[in-house]
Amino acid sequence: MEDYITHLKASHSNIQETIRFIDQKASIIFGLVVFVLGASLLMYKNQYLLPVSPGSTSIKLSVTPWSVVSGTFLIIAFGFTTLCTTSLYSCLKARGPSSNKELILFPINIKSAVSIKSLYNETKDPTKTEDKVVEEYEDQVYAVGVIMSKKFQYLNRLMTFFAFQASFTGLLFVVVCLHSVYC
């Protein structure tokens, strides 16, 4: 039984480390999302938003087929940025335990001092405690595993949306370069 509890503890710890890794990776990818969006806005602004007169702070939009195509790519890239934001939120949002059981190992749902005392009294019987510890670790490993699985889903979705955003930003870059060469 002791080996099984040790294995459950190690599994719980490994899953928590993986969740931390997923959260860090999602944050870094979102930093890249924001950078790519800023770069695409800057490209569009520098190419198509022209000053009204030299030295003027007023700007006007140069409406050409090039600017319309570029604007379309910019809007699509912005849409994927929005999808990235929702995926990041889903990936990073806190999730509590799925059960309302009162737990000895993870006393998150304990509502009162009476509950704490009753749980403490249960721990006086070593056989009951060991079985309860095993049951709680099994429940927690399952619950944290479900959380990790959802985080993987949202991270993969974030990475897919980022790939699309970067692709449309790349197309915007190509159109801006072609416009610079041919116009």
| DSSP state letter for 53 | S
pLDDT in tens, 129-165: 777 778 878 888 888 888 899 999 999 999 999 999 9
Q: Residue written as tokens 């041919």?
A: 182
What is the rounded distance in angstroms from the CA atom of residue 126 to the CA atom of residue 116? Answer: 17
- The reported pTM is 0.75
CA nearest 86: which of 165, 18, 142, 146? 165
pLDDT tens digits for range 46-65: 888 766 667 666 677 778 88
Domain boundaries, the chain: 2-182
